[in-house]
Every structure is written in structure tokens, then in C-alpha cells.
Amino acid sequence: MTERADGPLRRLGAGDEGGSPGRFRAGDVITKDTILDSGLPTVVFVTAYVVSGQDLTLAIWAAVVSGAVLAVLRLARRQTLQNVLAGFLGVAVAAFVASRTGRAEDYFLPGLLINAGYAVAYVVSILVRWPLLGVLVAAVTGEGMGWRQDPVRLRAYSLASWIWVGMFAVRLAVQLPLYLAGEDGLVALGIARVAMGWPLFFLCLYLSWLVIRSAGRTGAAAVQGAGDEEPAGP
């Protein structure tokens, strides 16, 4: 898991003794660095392709170079080598696919497949009562899987996971037709990719935080209520 996902997921899992996440701060989730990292290669690729008169090779190399520059900046920020390689790998794979097919729109194909894969994985996880969001949060925070024994938290993580299914579905609903339009939809596809990246991710993260926080408070109240109803000892 990359640092971009690790930090936000840790915010979802961090909380008080009742299991309710702490205060949600936008600055803890999205910074200037994360916005730059996620959007720059795409903007560079589309801009270079259009300005150069649809020179795919130039656009690919421009995207790769921008990705390499970001990797160097990540190293300068003392991020782990794993995070650096993960950030660059996405750009490299997209560039490789486009170079092999010779179609500029295929630069976006890996991202579409990833969104489709995540959507399916989240739906399956909800149906088998192992909501993926809960699993990821537990893995990041080291909490373990004890939350599955709490019906309130299990329902909350299931509901929150549906939010992410919605995000992946919306991305596909908007971006897939633009991808299928070929070069005619390339600029719009690039804009949609950037606009539906971190902004949409942040919205889903915030909504998930609201759901999980509510579940934590409900669970804490239930425990308190059960304690109040215990009969007095001899």
C-alpha cells in the first residue's frame, strides 16, 4: 500500500476508546504534494500530445520524465523507496501500454481496469461480510479483525465500502465513454481523470469517516447502556 492511501486510511481507523475516529482534518489527507503527484503526469501527457500535434512518443516521454521528477522529489522528501517506486510505476505502466498499442487513449486504460477491479473486489467483500474498507483500515492501524464481531461496526464498514463502490462506478461511468471515443475524448478524459482523482477520493473518505464515527458513537453508547443495566452486586 502506498503512502497516499496509508495516511487517509489511518485517519479512518484512529479514534477514541469507543472506536469512533477522531476529528477529520482535510490537511491530514490532501496536501499540495499529493495533488501534484496525482495530477501532474496526466496533465503533462495530454498537454504534450495536443501541443505537439498528436506526437504520442513525445507525450509518453514527457509523462515519464514528469513521473521521474516526482520520484526524485519524493526521495528528497525522505519517502520510502517503496512509495517512490509505487508512484512512478503507475506512470510507467500507463506509458508502456500506450506505447505498445499506439493509441493515446490507452494511457488511461490501466486506471480504468484498476477502478473496475476495485469495484468488483469491494462488492464481493461486502457480500461475504468482509468489507474491504474495514480490512484495509485494520491492516494499516494494526487493530486486527475484532471489529467483525461488533455488528454495529460491521454494518458501518459495509455501508462505507458501498460508498467506495459508488466512487469507482462513477469514475467508470464518466471516463469509459470518453475512453471509447478515442482521440476525440482524450482532453476531456484527462480532465475527468484529474478532477475525479483526489477530489472524489477525499469526498468518499469524508463520507466514510462520518459513517464510521457514527458507528463508533453508537457502539460506545450501547456498551454504556449495557453497563447501566447490570444488576448491582451483593
pTM: 0.80
Asked if the model's pLDDT at residue 56 lies above 80, the reply is: yes
Summarize pLDDT for 171-184 with one digit per residue, the tens: 999 999 999 999 99
**Looking at residue 102, what is its pLDDT?**
95
Summarize pLDDT for 11-43 with one digit per residue, the tens: 565 554 444 555 545 454 455 555 556 678 999
Question: Closest Cα partner for 111 from 58, 150, 168?
Answer: 168
Residue 233's identity, in one-letter code, is G
Tell me the average pLDDT of the chain: 81
Measured CA to CA, the distance from residue 181 to residue 204 in angstroms comes to 28
Residue pair 25/206 in contact by the 8 Å Cβ criterion: no
Average pLDDT over residues 71-82: 77
**Looking at residue 12, what is its pLDDT?**
63
Summarize pLDDT for 87-134 with one digit per residue, the tens: 788 899 999 999 999 999 999 999 999 999 999 999 999 999 999 999
**Looking at residue 31, what is its pLDDT?**
53
